[in-house]
Amino acid sequence: MSFIAGTVIKTLAELIEPSGKSIDTWSFKVSYKATPALLIVCAILVSQRQYYGEPISCDAGAARGGIDQDVLESYCWMYSTFNIPREYKGACSAGDIEYYPESIVYNSYYQWVPLYLTFMAVVFYIPRLLWLCWEGGLMKFFTRGTSTREIEDKDEKKERLVKFFSNNIKNKYNTYFFGFVFCEHLNFFIVVFQFLLTHKFLNHRFLDYGFKVWQYYLLPTEEQQMFGVINPMCNTFPRIASCTYWRWGGGGHQENINAICILGLNIVNDKVFLVIWWWYLFVALVSLIRLICRYIQCRFEYIRYHLIHARMNRYFRRSNKTKKIEEYLKTCKLGDWFVLYQLSKNLNRSFFMDFLTELSVRYDEKEILDPTDTGQLGKQIGDTLVTMLLKPSYTSVEGGEDKDQDVV
C-alpha cells in the first residue's frame, strides 16, 4: 500500500511541477497538487480489501440452502437497497433512516467510488493544464541562468531581460495576468461544483455531512442514547442493507429471496468522505480568500508595491532609488506588476533587485518603448488570449549563448 501510494505521489509531483519554477501561488498549488494527491490516495485506500474484508457479505437466512453465495453477493453488490423496515434492530442499518414505501433506492453507487475519486482528481487538475498553456514558459525564459547564487555575465543578462521586458510592456502581460486570475476563479468554482456533484452522487447526503458528524460527536454518549440521535455516518453510509434476489424455482416459477447484506466497504467510505468534506471546505475557503485578496490587489496599487517590498525588504533598504521603484510599481499595469512579482520568487534576489532598479530608471526616463517602432507596437496590440492558448508564448534556444527572444 505504501509503495503504491509513494509511486503515485512521485508521478504526480513530476507531472505537476515539470520545470521546477514557481509559476503560480501556494493557494493554486493546494487545488491542483494537494487535492488530486489526496483524492488518488483515497481511491487507492477504498480499493484495498485488507482494511475491510469483502465489500459485501449477504445472509439469506433459511433460504440459503439452494443459493450460490457468490452469485447472491454479486447480485446484491449491484442491486442492494436502502429499503429496510424500521423494525429491523441492526445497528447502523439503512432502517435507521427514512423508509421509502413507494420507491426503491439503490446504494450500488458504492462500487463507483474509486473511479469517482479518480475523476474528481482529474477535474481539479484542469486549471493547472490551462495555466501551463497560457503561461507559455515565460518564467522559464526569464530565469534561465539567473536563478542560481552565482550568475555569469550578470550585466549582459540583466540588459537582455530589461530590453525584453521593456519591449513587451504596453499591456503585453495583462493577458498573462487575467489568464491566471481566470484559473483562480476556476479553482473556486470547481470545488463548489465538486461539493454539489458529490451531494448528488451520495443520494443527497453530503452537503452538510461533515458538520452533522462534528455535531454528533460533540454530544456525550448518554445524550446520544437518550434522545436516539442517529449517527450521520450511518445515515450516509449504512453498514447494513437489504437485497431482494429473484430466481427461477424448481417448479418453473419465479421466486424471490430476501437477504440482509453487510457493506464492509462503508467502514472506510464514511471516513474517506468525511476527510474529503473538510478538505473541500478548506480549499473553498482558501480559494475564496485568495480571490478577495486578488480583488484588493487590483484595486490598490499601494498593496501591490508593498507585496514586492516585503519580499525584497533587505535590498530595498540598501537601494538609493527606492522612490523611482515605488513610482514605477504603483503606475505600471497589473500584468506587468504580476510578472515582476512572480520573478521576485524565481530570480536570484540580488539580480532581481538590479533588474527592477534598471527597469524603473528607464521607465522614469521615458525609454520604455520607442514610439517610432510601429512594427513592435502593432505586434504588442495584436497579441490575444487565443494566440497564447493555441501556441507557446516563448521559445528558447537550447545550448550555446543566450539570445534575445521575442513573443511568437
Using CA atoms in the order 94, 95, 96, 99, what is the torsion angle rounded to 10 degrees?
100
Tell whether 66 is covered by a domain: yes
- Of the candidates 283, 308, 328, which is a domain's last residue? 283
**Minimal CA–CA distance to 406: which of 87, 74, 127, 166?**
166
Q: Measured between alpha carbons, how far is 73 from 260 in angstroms, rounded to an integer?
A: 10
Q: What is the pLDDT of residue 278?
A: 95
Reported pTM: 0.77
Boundaries of domain holding 162: 134-173+286-390
Q: Which of 262, 283, 304 is the last residue of a domain?
A: 283
Q: Is the residue at 399 inside a domain? A: no
User: What distances in angstroms separate CA 74 from CA 28, 78, 112, 250, 336, one per listed residue?
Assistant: 42, 7, 15, 22, 61
Do 262 and 209 fall into the same domain? yes
Asked if residue 322 belongs to a domain, the reply is yes
- Give the pLDDT of residue 376: 40
Tracing cell 486578488 back to the chain, one arrives at 294
pLDDT of the residue at 296: 93
User: CB of 113 within 8 A of CB of 40?
Assistant: no
CA 94, CA 261: separation in Å to the nearest integer?
11
Q: 315, 344 in Cβ contact below 8 A? A: no
pLDDT per residue as tens, the chain (408 positions): 555 555 555 555 555 554 567 788 888 999 999 999 999 999 988 887 766 677 788 888 766 666 778 888 888 877 766 666 666 666 676 554 554 444 445 556 777 888 999 999 999 999 999 998 888 888 887 777 666 666 777 777 788 888 877 776 555 688 889 999 999 999 999 999 999 999 988 888 899 999 999 988 888 877 777 766 778 888 788 788 788 888 776 666 777 788 888 888 888 888 999 999 999 999 999 999 999 999 999 999 889 988 988 888 888 887 778 888 888 888 888 888 998 898 888 888 888 888 888 888 877 665 444 444 444 433 443 443 334 433 444 443 333 334 333 332
How large is the angle between the packed helices 113-135 and 266-299, nearest 10 degrees?
A: 20
- Distance, CA of 187 to CA of 284 (rounded, Å): 8
Contact, 56 vs 264, CB < 8 A? yes
Task: Output phi, psi for 393, to 5 deg.
Answer: -80, -30
Domain boundary among 232, 267, 283: 283
- Asked if residue 205 and residue 108 are part of one domain, the reply reads yes
The pLDDT assigned to 374 comes to 40
- One domain, residues 161 and 27: no
- pLDDT score for 108: 64
Domain count, the chain: 2
Q: Per this entry, what is the length of the chain?
A: 408
Residue 395's pLDDT is 40
Is residue 184 situated within a structural domain?
Answer: no
- Give domain status of residue 407, yes or no: no
Same domain, 164 and 194: no
